[in-house]
Amino acid sequence: MSTVLIYTSPARGHLYPMMDVALALQGQGHNVVVQTLAAEREHVEAAGVAHRAIAPAIEAITMDDYTSSGTRAQILAALETWMARAPHEVRDLQAAIDELQPDLLVIDANSWGASALAQAQGRPWAAFLPYALAVPSPDTPAFGPGFAPPRNGVDRTRDRLVTAATGRMFRPVISRLNALRAGLGVPALGGLGDVFVQADALLYRTAEPFEYARRSWPANVHPIGPGLWSPPGQAPAWLADLPHPRVLVNVSTELQEDGGIIDAALAGLADEPGSIIVTTSALDPDRFTAPHERTRIVRFLSHAAVIDDVDVVVTHGGMGSTQRALAAGVPVVVVPWGRDQHESARRVEHSGAGVRLAPKRLTPQRLRASVRDALGRTKAAGQVAAGFAAAGGAPRAVEILESLVDVDPSPAGEPGPRAMSSSAQPTATATGAKRTTST
């Protein structure tokens, strides 16, 4: 069987969505190594998968996009972070290739340097994407602001203008990335959207009806539904004592100063029936005060262990927490604080599976009204859950990855790689689109 190296950016929100694929590959007899955050060694190895730490120099370049003002500025700040990591990734991944000799590389779409090196190998490779796809389409809005899908010519003109303006803003970063790519002998990118269509397959960790329907997808993109793996955890004993409806409130695991969501929830839901469960993640739980005995405030809690026992989730809109709730048929209220969260919030609204509440409109009263609204959206949340399940998940990912590289016994009895097979060509969900696009 083959050796597969899965390489992630330094974020749990990018590692955890791929652990189900790593486990499924290993279950099929493949040798899997996950190169990721050093601090996640215990969780990865406890799951039975080999762990390799990414270089400390990469982990040292942290996200500070939340300090920027405006969605486009925040996205640009994120791109600058990914660009700063890229040269380190090239050296880091090359060292792993030299040591492990993997048959297949599966690279985080945010790892630009690692992706360029994977492409330079001249052999099949795959990428994965755990957030909304930034490849333009006539059926989807301009990426970033969280626009609704276009309904008419005016909307499409808006989207073209915003996409063009965004492309100009991002051009200096893309130019620097192209300089790195040229040094590795791989083609230049025309824009941000091209990042996602270089790999032979992109495992897209979402699916309709949460994702917008497209008449044609980029040929390499496979929407397979979300990855919902998390480290083992148990529901706390106190959960059984909390009355329904139970509202789970969570904020980002990467610092973005989104405590205003918690403040509004605690104030707005104080007089509502039921209970409030708050996970503060990157924020200090001691800065928040419980309004009554039906409230629990903790830094961390296994959402996987409690999601089936809550009635609505109030969230910043990270794809992980949002899709986990919807996959369980639990409606959500999304207050998008930054990054790609405006995109996930609009998808929640468009699917009918929850409520989008803009941060500028966030008040305790509006959040309370949004929670009441969301509690009536369980049917739509269930439809999203069904769509996720139908997309195939990790088993579908294994089919796609195995189609890229088969392994035949060599004359000496040792496994050797074989080039992409015909079955690796686009599936019915990914036909008719051009491979090259730009943003």
Mean pLDDT value of segment 321-332:
97
Burial of 7 (0-12, 13-18, 19+ CB in 10 A): buried
Q: Return the pLDDT at 406.
A: 64
Q: Where in the chain is the domain with CATH 3.40.50.2000?
A: 3-225+391-430, 237-387
**How far is residue 50's CA from residue 196's CA, in Å, rounded to a whole number?**
27
Half-sphere exposure of 187 (CA within 13 A, CB side): 10
**How far is residue 197's CA from residue 402's CA, in Å, rounded to a whole number?**
19
**How far is residue 17's CA from residue 357's CA, in Å, rounded to a whole number?**
26
Q: Which pLDDT band holds residue 304 (cuts at 50, 70, 90)?
A: very high
Topology, domain 237-387 = Rossmann fold (3.40.50)
Amino acid found at 143:
F
- Say whether pLDDT at 427 is over 60: no
Q: Which pLDDT band holds residue 282 (cuts at 50, 70, 90)?
A: confident
Best mean pLDDT range from 162-171, 272-281, 421-430: 272-281
- Averaged pLDDT of the chain: 90
Q: What is the pLDDT of residues 205-216, one digit of tens each?
A: 999 999 999 999
**How far is residue 308's CA from residue 327's CA, in Å, rounded to a whole number?**
10
Q: What is the pTM of this model?
A: 0.88
- Say whether pLDDT at 64 is over 70: yes
Q: Characterize 203-239 residue by residue with b for buried, 16 or more Cβ atoms within 10 angstroms of its Cβ, and e for exposed.
A: bbbbbbbbbbebeebbbbbbbbbbbbbbbeeeebeeb
User: What CATH architecture applies to the domain 3-225+391-430?
Assistant: 3-Layer(aba) Sandwich (3.40)
Q: Which pLDDT band holds residue 403 (cuts at 50, 70, 90)?
A: very high
